């Protein structure tokens, strides 16, 4: 339940952020509504709904069942794996401006394969090479989409 409340608070936080930020913009009047009106109204709705959900959850006050607790504990490995995949992805996206789109993508697919359990490096490299070559031929060569270039391609 703490996690449920946490997720609601995050959403309420997003609403609050939009509400405060939208006040920087012009509210206008009823005759000429400004650019702040719509986001402000929706942000208030988000906060109100999140508040209601929070109230319902606290009122319900359910205790987490032991089986759920056990399951959550067992899944720590999974969460770690997700965090590694996201960090890896973010790192390689950041490195795209130095290495170029396709070189970075090749490294990303290769390492992703390994993280997802592909045992042999040759298999991971093979999958990455095939996928990047396919993407290059379709998008860059045939459809002429221009990708960021770096040290390589």
Q: Which of 20, 23, 27, 82 binds other proteins (CB under 8 A)?
A: 82
Decide if residue 64 touches other proteins (CB under 8 A). no
Out of 16, 95, 107, 112, point to the residue binding other proteins (CB under 8 A). Answer: 112
Minimum CB distance to other proteins smaller for 33 or for 121 = 33
50 lies in the binding site for other proteins (CB under 8 A): yes
d(CA 149, CA 53): 47
User: Does 70 sit near other proteins (CB under 8 A)?
Assistant: no
Supply the DSSP string of 75-125, one letter for each residue: THHHHHHHHHHHHHHHHHHHHHHHH-HHHHHHHHHHHHHHHTT---HHHHH
Q: In the range 30-49, which residues lie near other proteins by CB under 8 A? A: 30-35, 37-39, 42-43, 45-46, 49
């Amino acid at each position: 339940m703490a996690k449920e409340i946490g997720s609601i608070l995050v959403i309420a936080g997003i609403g609050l952020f939009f509400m405060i930020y939208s006040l920087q913009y012009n509210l206008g009047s009823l005759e000429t509504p400004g650019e702040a009106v719509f986001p402000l109204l929706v942000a208030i709705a988000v906060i109100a709904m999140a508040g209601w959900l929070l109230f319902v959850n606290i009122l319900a006050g359910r205790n987490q069942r032991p089986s759920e607790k056990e399951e959550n504990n067992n899944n720590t490995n999974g969460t770690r794996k997700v965090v590694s995949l996201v960090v890896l992805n973010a790192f390689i996206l950041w490195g795209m401006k130095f290495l170029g789109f396709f070189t970075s993508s090749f490294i990303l697919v290769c390492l992703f394969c390994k993280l997802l359990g592909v045992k042999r490096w040759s298999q991971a490299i093979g999958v990455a090479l095939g996928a990047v070559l396919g993407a290059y031929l379709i998008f860059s060569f045939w459809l002429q989409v221009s990708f960021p270039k770096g040290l390589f391609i």
